[in-house]
Amino acid sequence: MMLPLTKKDCDDKPYKSHSRLVEKIGGWVRLIISDRDSRNLFFFLILNLSFAFVELFYGIWTNSLGLISDSFHMFFDCTGLVAGLIASIIAKWRPTDTFTYGFVRAEVLAGFLNGLFLLFIAFFILSEAVERLLEPPEVKHERLFLVSVLGLLVNLVGIYVFQHGGAHGHSHGGGGHGHSHGGGGHSHKHDDHNPSFLSHGHSHDGGHGHSHNGASHMHSHGGDAGGTGANKQIMRGVFLHILADTLGSVGVIISAGLMWAFEWYIADPICSICIALLISLSVLDLIKESGCILMQRTPSSIDSQLPQCYQRLMQLEGVVSVQEPHFWTLCSDVYVGSVKLEVSRNGDPRYITQNAQLIFQGIGVKKMTIQLDFLLT
């Protein structure tokens, strides 16, 4: 973990001046800007919000209800970004009494939340589309066209920014549609460019880098977990969110074009249904993955390697049996484990503990607790 330990954080309590709030906000901003991902998030959020405000004020000025409702929609969309941003800040908090592992889980939770949010939106779009299918409303395409082109531009900026920001997760935007291979290649390139300082994380890269489902694919890039990788779930969620918005804008543009050219009023709901389906398909992967992490599933990337580890443990001198192995993912690519070893009376605890730690580090479990139970006989 690279925790930026700023001085201000350490002695927060002694300061009780009136400028505390300013200082706090300043601290937050510094915290946001210190990390590339959250910086991107922040700026994109500001862009989005300003767009929404411009829309809102223009809507109020021209008294156009459509614009106002679209601006509300934009605000609503921003909540996903806000959630991502907040989570990326919270994830940097240090462990406390109540949260002994720190808040790194916030990242997974934010990814999960964004996924759920998108699913909800997809459902909402679907229901609206079905209603429109039954009763196609009059759509004023001229106005819609302009707004959605602007929205598309904003979202394209977002996609561009986040594609460059945290490249690894993004292959998964397409992952739901079966493009994970292309994504894999991209991520590997990224790997090469990044001087990875935790070399041991790569030991299993080759074996799993090309598996086909999204879940194991993403775990295979365990190497660059240090800096940006920690925010992977958040960034994935946010990216999917932006992708969904972009899809929405494209859909509106297409259907507006169709309505304008051919008077196909049914194009709008059909486009909406397609978009809703696309969104839910692309988001399912994220939800499943983060749900598994939240459920404390044994990390799927080390799933297959665990039996070998037990074998090797048993080969250690003095180890009789391996009991209650528990492995789980703390946040992306940080695995935690605990295991109980039954040890014969004459086993050397130091030797066993040390080697067991090494064995599990070999597969990337960095936080390991090994309990030795000595047999009485």
Site for other proteins in 153-172 (CB under 8 A): none
Residue 40 or 88: the one with the smaller Cβ distance to other proteins is 88
In the bound complex, what is the minimum distance in angstroms from residue 217's beta carbon to other proteins?
A: 18
Q: Rule CB under 8 A: choose which of 58, 72, 145, 310 binds other proteins.
A: 72
**Is 76 an interacting residue with respect to other proteins (CB under 8 A)?**
yes
Residue 194 or 203: the one with the smaller Cβ distance to other proteins is 203
- Judged by CB under 8 A, the chain residues 338 through 377 that form the site for other proteins are 338-340, 349-351, 353-355, 357-359, 361-362, 366-367, 369-374
Please work out the total of residues on this chain that contact other proteins, with binding judged by CB under 8 A.
80
Q: Rule CB under 8 A: choose which of 17, 19, 100, 377 binds other proteins.
A: 100
In the bound complex, what is the minimum distance in angstroms from residue 90's beta carbon to other proteins?
A: 9
Residue 15 or 76: the one with the smaller Cβ distance to other proteins is 76
Query: How far is Cα 148 from Cα 54, in angstroms, rounded to an integer?
Result: 14
Query: How far is Cα 260 from Cα 205, in angstroms, rounded to an integer?
Result: 52
User: Which are the contacts of 74, defined by CB distance < 8 A and separation ≥ 6?
Assistant: 48, 51, 52, 55, 151
Q: Rule CB under 8 A: choose which of 106, 218, 256, 276 binds other proteins.
A: 106
Amino acid symbol at 169: G
CA-based radius of gyration for the chain: 25
- Judged by CB under 8 A, the chain residues 47 through 66 that form the site for other proteins are 65
Binding-site string for other proteins from residue 179 to residue 218, where x marks contact by CB under 8 A and - marks none? ------------------xxxx--x---------------
Q: Rule CB under 8 A: choose which of 31, 89, 109, 271 binds other proteins.
A: 109
Q: Rule CB under 8 A: choose which of 4, 22, 317, 344 binds other proteins.
A: 317
Q: Rule CB under 8 A: choose which of 44, 51, 117, 335 binds other proteins.
A: 117
In the bound complex, what is the minimum distance in angstroms from residue 171's beta carbon to other proteins?
A: 25
- Judged by CB under 8 A, the chain residues 222 through 251 that form the site for other proteins are none
- Judged by CB under 8 A, the chain residues 16 through 45 that form the site for other proteins are none
> 250 — phi, psi (to 5°)?
-60, -45
